[in-house]
């Protein structure tokens, strides 16, 4: 065997399963969509202090059609978090 065999889901560790679930949350988003979304996100000066990792999830949520009220809440929380003195 060449070492590239596929294991069953039962044999996967919890960490591997979590990684697969995480990757699937981006599976229908094209790279260009993500870049365009991030560009638009950071055009608003209020968002410039939000870490890119947090912004990526916000843009993902926008792209997959998350409810606008939920997005508003998410963005408010991100901006509050970014304004916190211990945010780094």
pLDDT at 68 over 70: yes
What is the DSSP secondary structure assignment for residue 31, as one 8-state letter?
H
In a domain, 18, yes or no: no
In a domain, 5, yes or no: no
Is the full-model pTM beyond 0.75? no
27 vs 23 pLDDT, higher one: 27
The structure tokens listed for 2 are: 């060449």
In a domain, 13, yes or no: no
CB 58 within 8 A of CB 71: yes
Q: How many domains does the chain have?
A: 1
Write the CA distances from 35 to 41, 45, 64, 79, integer angstroms.
Answer: 10, 17, 15, 20
In a domain, 37, yes or no: yes
pLDDT score at 4: 46
Share of residues in the chain with pLDDT > 70 (%): 75
In a domain, 3, yes or no: no
Reported as a pLDDT band with limits 50, 70 and 90, residue 14 is confident
Q: What range does the domain containing 34 cover? A: 30-88
In a domain, 4, yes or no: no
pLDDT score at 28: 82
In a domain, 72, yes or no: yes
């Amino acid at each position: 065997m060449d070492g590239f065999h596929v294991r069953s889901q039962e044999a996967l560790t919890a960490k591997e399963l979590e990684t697969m679930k995480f990757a699937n949350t981006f599976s229908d988003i094209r790279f260009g969509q993500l870049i365009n979304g991030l560009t638009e996100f950071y055009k608003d000066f209020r968002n410039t202090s939000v870490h890119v990792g947090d912004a990526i999830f916000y843009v993902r949520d926008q792209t997959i059609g998350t409810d606008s009220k939920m997005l508003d809440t998410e963005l408010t929380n991100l901006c509050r978090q970014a304004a916190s003195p211990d945010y780094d």
